[in-house]
Amino acid sequence: MKKMIWGLAVSSLCLSLSAHSANPVWLEGKTATEYSVDVYHSPTCGCCKGWIDHLEDHNFVVNAIETNDVSPIKQRLGVPPQAASCHTAVVNGIAIEGHVPAQDIKSLLAKQDHNVRLLTVPGMPSGGPGMDMPGARKDQFKVYAVSEENKISVYNSYDNY
């Protein structure tokens, strides 16, 4: 009887793990908490719109602001050039640069870490939120946190999704 119960438990665990691995990790762990976010992006950028859809799927209330030049906003928010991507967002006074997964933003907001002024995914990694087109390769990428003192640390890493 114990072997049968263990067998069922292991089978259930394997099914559970395989179900989760079918989707990118940023589709897991959605919460019902809503946040308002301003997203500055080019009107012609499809991946920016894909990232906005990703945020809305995670209960963010998005104010999409189209602009032909996001550079002044990046400069005003103190986004270093090496941390830049195609779009810039602001939520609760924190700058979000590039294709940062929604759960990383929500995680930071839930921690209420007032020392972090910027979360960024530099560049445009293929397969990330908004860059996850069917058939696209999936690059490894890191989410970086930049503190008020401009110290940079890895906030999260996506190596195997």
Q: How many structural domains compose the chain?
A: 1
pLDDT, position 6: 38
Is there a domain that residue 68 lies in?
A: yes
* Residue 113 pLDDT: 79
Supply the pLDDT for residue 33.
64
Q: How many other β-carbons are positioned within 10 Å of the β-carbon of residue 49?
A: 17
Which CATH number goes with the domain that contains 44? Answer: 3.40.30.10
Contact predicate 19/156, CB 8 Å:
no
One digit per residue, pLDDT tens: the chain, 161 residues?
444 333 433 333 333 333 333 445 545 555 656 789 999 999 999 889 999 999 999 999 999 999 999 999 999 999 999 999 999 999 999 999 999 999 999 999 998 878 999 999 999 999 889 998 888 888 999 999 999 999 999 999 998 65
User: Which pLDDT score, from 0 to 100, does residue 144 have?
Assistant: 98
Whether residue 38 lies inside any domain: the answer is yes
Domain for residue 145, yes or no? yes
Tell me, yes or no, whether 10 lies in a domain.
Answer: no
The reported pLDDT for the residue numbered 161 is 55
Is pTM beyond 0.75? Reply is yes
Q: Which domain holds residue 142?
A: 23-158
- Indicate whether 2 belongs to any domain: no
Q: Is residue 30 part of a domain?
A: yes
Residue at 9 is within a domain:
no
DSSP secondary structure letter of residue 49: H
First-residue to last-residue Cα distance in the chain? 36
Tokens found for residue 97: 């640069």
Instruction: Please check whether residue 3 lies inside any domain of the structure.
Output: no
Cβ atoms of residues 70 and 48 within 8 Å = no
pLDDT of residue 19: 37
- Smallest Cα–Cα separation from 47: which of 109, 161, 136, 142? 136
Q: How many CB atoms lie within 10 A of CB 93?
A: 8
- Give the pLDDT confidence score for residue 95 in this predicted structure: 97
Residue-level pLDDT at 109: 92
